[in-house]
């Protein structure tokens, strides 16, 4: 029988951990423990965690703030399980999650694995829109949680599992923040562990509550991709640069339209390029809206999904370009 240790780093999110732990109470497979690592929070969740004592096999630890990567390591060192499950605090776990994981382990013999994320009915419209943008084939989010991902699949820390052997041979996370899960996944693969996706083992991921928070989170993802490139140059794929290409193309299009206006729409190459660029951009927005409408079954959420997707592309692209410029071009001077 599998025994799992669920590791949850926590920083100033007491309401989220209550929802997550409540969902763990509803699991059909119950042979697991829960380890909460409060990473220097000023808004402690200890009193909430205590309400689950006796209902879950749960332990609570508090430590100085070092970042979620090292908080997970703290939990790994105290875990008793055969497999460690890493969750972010802003998820809800479906009742049959562990059954899906066990089926995947039996079928594929994974040493480490990840699962996708989805939107829950209880999420706000903005959270549903952000969830769409992070899982849509019309954004780079669509490459993370399906069988047609680009290159080797890298488990992400909102829904990641690994055997005790993986932890013992890799020593866990080496980075504390920003793309720490990708770096860890790459090292697992370099140690010749079998790493893959269990598509059925999804979680509901609430993500950020508004577009401003989402922008800065995704901006960090873009910067983090360059950090991974510096550590592992071969891990940068063409798809990772698409948001940066989108940002550059958008500003070129703006420039073409401004130039076209200043020249009083004189027929010429600039006019044709501006017309073509505008048509492609509007077609992309239209297809994005239709797909979001089909997936979310809501006109308002579909509209917000278009905004969320643009926020994601611009934020990731800006972060990618900013860190590339700072890391490589400035260093050459």
In a domain, 190, yes or no: yes
Is residue 203 within 8 Å of residue 298, measured between CB atoms?
Answer: no
Has residue 227 been placed in a domain? no
Residue 51 sits in the same domain as residue 161: yes
Residues making up the chain, counted from first to last: 333
Q: Based on the fold, state whether residues 172 and 264 are members of the same structural domain.
A: no
Using the 8-state DSSP alphabet, how is residue 56 labeled? B
In this structure, of 143-147, 240-244, 296-300, the range with the lowest mean pLDDT score is: 143-147
- Nearest to 172, CA basis, from 44, 70, 65, 63: 70
| Interatomic CA distance for residues 134 and 126, integer angstroms | 12
Q: Quick one: tokens of 80?
A: 């008793």
In a domain, 159, yes or no: yes
- Statement to judge: residues 199 and 241 lie in one domain: no
Show Cβ contacts of residue 327 under 8 Å, excluding neighbours closer than 6 positions.
226, 230
Query: Picking from 2-6, 148-152, 261-265, which range would have the lowest pLDDT averaged per residue?
Result: 148-152
Beta strand spans in the chain (E)? 4-10, 32-39, 58-63, 83-87, 91-92, 112-114, 117-118, 159-163, 195-197, 203-205
Task: Answer with the one of 171, 194, 209 that is the final residue of a domain.
Answer: 209
Instruction: Confirm whether 314 is domain-assigned.
Output: yes
pLDDT attached to residue 174? 92
Look up tokens 């693969």; give the residue: 189
For 142-169, the pLDDT digits (tens) are: 555 455 555 678 899 899 999 999 999 9
Residue with tokens 């549903």: 128
For residues 305 and 176, state if they share a domain: no
The count of structural domains within the chain is 2
HSE, CB side, 13 Å, CA atoms: give it for residue 140.
22
Report the distance separating Cα 217 and Cα 316, nearest Å: 9
For Cα atoms 249, 255, 261, give the angle at the middle one, nearest 5 degrees.
140
Query: Which pLDDT band, with edges at 50, 70 and 90, does 272 fall under?
Result: confident
pLDDT, greater one: 269 or 4: 4
Closest CA to 75 of 87, 90, 61: 61
Asked whether residue 8 is domain-assigned, the answer is yes
Same domain for 250 and 188, yes or no, is no
Say if 125 falls within a structural domain: no
Q: In this structure, is residue 22 part of a structural domain?
A: yes
* Residue 93 scores a pLDDT above 60: yes
Domain encompassing residue 291: 234-332
Q: Are residues 171 and 296 in the same domain?
A: no
- Are 204 and 254 within one domain? no
Q: Which residues is 112 bridged to in the sheet?
A: 162, 195
Claim to verify: residue 191 and residue 252 sit in the same structural domain? no
pLDDT the model gives residue 142: 57
Distance CA 295, CA 3 (A): 36
Local structure of 53: helix, strand or coil: strand
Phi, psi of 121 (to 5 degrees): -60, -25
Same domain, 249 and 197: no
247 vs 66, 154, 192, 315, 317, CA distance in Å? Answer: 33, 25, 37, 9, 6
Question: Would strands 117-118 and 83-87 be described as parallel, antiparallel, or unpaired?
Answer: unpaired
Which of residues 326 and 331 earns the better pLDDT score? 326
101 and 47 within one domain: yes
Separation of CA 70 from chain center: 18
Is residue 243 included in any domain, yes or no? yes
Of residues 218, 155, 213, the one with CA closest to residue 187:
155
Looking at the structure, do residues 247 and 290 belong to the same domain, yes or no?
A: yes
Mean pLDDT of 303-322: 95
CA distance 263 to 260: 5
CATH number at residue 85: 3.90.550.10
What is the C-alpha to C-alpha distance for residues 162 and 57, in angstroms, rounded to an integer?
A: 20
User: Which pLDDT score, from 0 to 100, does residue 151 have?
Assistant: 63
| pLDDT score for 331 | 61
Same domain? 102 vs 180: yes
Non-local (6+) Cβ contacts of 23 within 8 A are 92, 93, 94, 95
């Amino acid at each position: 029988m599998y025994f799992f240790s669920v590791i949850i780093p926590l920083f100033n999110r007491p309401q989220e951990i209550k929802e997550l732990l409540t969902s763990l109470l509803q699991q059909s497979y119950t042979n697991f423990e829960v380890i909460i690592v409060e990473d220097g929070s000023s808004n402690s969740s200890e009193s909430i965690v205590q309400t689950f004592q006796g209902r879950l096999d749960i332990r609570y630890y508090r430590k100085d703030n070092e970042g979620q990567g090292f908080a997970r390591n703290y939990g790994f060192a105290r875990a008793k399980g055969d497999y460690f499950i890493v969750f972010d605090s802003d998820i809800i776990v479906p009742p049959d999650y562990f059954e899906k994981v066990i089926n995947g382990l039996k079928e594929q013999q994974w040493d480490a694995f990840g699962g996708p994320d989805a939107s829950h009915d209880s999420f706000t419209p903005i959270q549903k829109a952000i969830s769409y943008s992070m899982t849509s084939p019309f954004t780079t989010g669509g490459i993370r949680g399906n069988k047609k991902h680009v290159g080797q699949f890298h488990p992400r820390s909102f829904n990641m599992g690994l055997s005790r052997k993986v932890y013992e041979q890799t020593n866990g996370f080496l980075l504390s923040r920003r793309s720490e899960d990708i770096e860890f996944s790459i090292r697992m693969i370099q140690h010749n562990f079998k790493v893959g996706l269990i598509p059925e083992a999804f979680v509901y991921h609430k993500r950020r509550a508004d577009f401003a928070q989402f922008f800065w989170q995704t901006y960090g993802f873009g910067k983090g991709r360059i950090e991974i490139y510096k550590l592992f140059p071969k891990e940068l794929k063409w798809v990772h640069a698409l948001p940066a290409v989108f940002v550059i193309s958008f500003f070129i299009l703006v420039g073409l339209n401004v130039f076209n206006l200043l020249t009083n729409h004189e027929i010429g190459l600039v006019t044709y390029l501006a017309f073509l660029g505008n048509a492609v951009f509007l077609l992309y927005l239209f297809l994005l809206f239709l797909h979001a409408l089909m997936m979310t079954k809501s006109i308002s959420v579909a509209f917000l999904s278009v905004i969320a997707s643009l926020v994601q592309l611009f934020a990731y692209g800006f972060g990618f370009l900013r860190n590339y410029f700072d890391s490589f071009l400035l260093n050459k001077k």
